Amino acid sequence: MIWVAILGLCLLFAGIPVAFALGLAGMLGVWLAGIPMSVTATRLFTGVDSFVFLAVPFYILAAEIMSQGGITARLISIASAATRWLRGGTAFANIGTSVLFAGISGSAVADAAALGRVFTDEMPKEGYSREYSAAVTVASSIIGPIIPPSGLAIIMAAVTGLSVIDLFLAGILPGLLMAASCAVVVAIGAIRGTVPKPRPMAPTRDGALRMLVEAVAVVTLPIIIIGGMIAGIYTATEGGGVAVAYAIFLSVVVFRAMTLEGLWLSFLRAARTSATIYLLVAAATILSYALNLLGIASWVTAAAGLFEGNPIAFLFAVAGLMLVLGTFLDIGAAILIFAPLLMPVVYDLGIDPMQASMVIMLTLAMGLVTPPVGVVLFVVMRVGRVGMFPLIRALVPFLLAQLAAIALICLIPGISSLLPTLLN
């Protein structure tokens, strides 16, 4: 098993694409276990042979269409109108836009790419430093994979057998708590006078009415998805199809901001992204199979015995492990490999699976903003033209606040389980 881990890490640090690194490491494990290599071909297909995974392309396509259809500018206008009267209002608007955008894209990278260029250019005009502007964007983008519709929740459901709708609902309060932790940092800066006063702009009556209508239209998308699933009208996969149809309707008919060429481009981008995810899932399945053959489950069970009767300590240990893994391992791959191993222990210790799932997802999402993998960090550095170390210095208070939020989620199960319990 050690050789499998060494090969996987060496390939990752050598710059080999994650899917190929995981697949090759898994093939080594299968070979070491004495199993015919032909089994890996079967495992590649069985890894993605899940009805739940059919939802992934739909939600990716809906997000692409909404992003291409002029939704980003409307979200920024909506959030800015609500917060510009506050000191630090544009920073609050940045966080609020991320919350709204999360309900559409479900992706931290999409959030950072779409919002990073706008806010890192506009906030400095009001007196914010470019590093602070980028830091707010980076920190708030973590919300993207948590608030539904969430691609990570779909992957988590597929590998653990949990309900997609329960995981969607479980992500709402933790996602809002992460946003609130960022807002607290901005509020402290406002109280101390270290963030600038806003430059309020009063919209005309017609402009305010149009903005209100657009806000209702955009926010309706996640409501339609979650509401229909709760009511039992459609499954998560079918809800993805509904999301695509509604996204096309808004972008093409209501806002008239997308051409047929733009729609075709959205389909192409969604196809590429979906193919990448499926390849990653298939490769991670081989590695997970190999690790099970080599006895990793017994290792996990033995380690879990140290936390017998102390589930909170186990959750903090899991959070620490996921924080480390998230710094160099793709978040989807980490869930595919480790979630199925940890969930039996979660049940044995009497931990709410929704709580454990949120802890795993949130702490892995933190890896998106930390080097060496830190995809979101590098995206914002590029679009915002900010150096790594100045950005990290500005980011530290936000990360500490978000770690405190994760600690609360570890301590209070109701943050994750309240909505699934109430609405099911």
pLDDT, one tens digit per residue, over 93-110 is 888 888 877 766 666 766
pLDDT-derived band of residue 184, with 50, 70 and 90 as boundaries?
Answer: very high
Q: What is the pLDDT of residue 208?
A: 58
**In Å, what is the CA distance from 246 to each residue of 19, 61, 62, 224?**
32, 11, 8, 9
Q: What is the pLDDT of residue 196?
A: 80
176, 99 in Cβ contact below 8 A?
yes
d(CA 21, CA 33) in angstroms, rounded, equals 19
What pTM value is reported for the model? 0.83
d(CA 332, CA 239) in angstroms, rounded, equals 21
Q: What is the pLDDT of residue 244?
A: 86
Burial 158-179 (b: 16+ CB within 10 A, else e): bbbebbbbbbbbbbbbbbbbbb
Residue ranges making up the domain that contains 42: 2-423
Strand residue runs (E) in 9-149: none
What mean pLDDT comes out for the span 111-116?
71
Cα torsion 288, 289, 291, 297: sign: positive
d(CA 231, CA 223) in angstroms, rounded, equals 12
d(CA 336, CA 49) in angstroms, rounded, equals 14
List, as one string, the DSSP characters of 43-61.
Answer: HHHHHH--TGGGHHHHHHH
Q: What is the pLDDT of residue 402?
A: 93
d(CA 86, CA 79) in angstroms, rounded, equals 12
**Identity of the amino acid at 51:** F
CB atoms within 10 A of CB 86: 18
Judged against a pLDDT cut of 90, whether residue 180 lies above it is answered with yes
**In Å, what is the CA distance from 294 to each residue of 2, 28, 93, 272, 287?**
10, 11, 50, 33, 11
**In Å, what is the CA distance from 265 to each residue of 90, 243, 304?**
31, 18, 48
Judged against a pLDDT cut of 90, whether residue 259 lies above it is answered with no
Judged against a pLDDT cut of 80, whether residue 137 lies above it is answered with yes
Write down the mean pLDDT value for the chain: 81
What mean pLDDT comes out for the span 142-148?
84
DSSP state of 306: G
What mean pLDDT comes out for the span 241-248?
86
Coil vs helix vs strand at 16: coil
pLDDT, one tens digit per residue, over 370-396 is 766 677 777 788 777 888 888 888 899
Q: What is the pLDDT of residue 147?
A: 85
Judged against a pLDDT cut of 90, whether residue 303 lies above it is answered with no
**In 294-368, where does DSSP find H-type helix?**
296-304, 311-326, 331-348, 353-366
CB atoms within 10 A of CB 213: 11
Which has the closest alpha carbon to 182: 122, 139, 124, 134?
139
Rounded to the nearest 10°, the torsion over CA 227, 138, 156, 30 is 160
- 147 dihedral zone (left: phi>0; alpha: psi -120 to 50; beta): beta
253, 303 in Cβ contact below 8 A?
no
**In 249-295, where does DSSP find H-type helix?**
260-293
325, 64 in Cβ contact below 8 A?
no
Q: Out of 27-36, 39-48, 183-192, pick the least confident.
A: 39-48
In the chain, what percentage of residues exceed pLDDT 70? Answer: 89
Q: Out of 120-134, 157-171, 352-366, 403-417, pick the least confident.
A: 120-134
**Helix, strand, coil percent content, the chain, rounded in steps of 5:** 80, 0, 20
Q: What is the pLDDT of residue 256?
A: 79
Q: What is the pLDDT of residue 316?
A: 94
415, 409 in Cβ contact below 8 A?
yes
CB atoms within 10 A of CB 61: 23
- 209 dihedral zone (left: phi>0; alpha: psi -120 to 50; beta): alpha
The total domain count for the chain is 1
Angle value at C-alpha 94, between 90 and 98, nearest 5 degrees: 160
d(CA 344, CA 32) in angstroms, rounded, equals 26
Q: What is the pLDDT of residue 411?
A: 94
d(CA 349, CA 316) in angstroms, rounded, equals 13
What mean pLDDT comes out for the span 52-76?
76
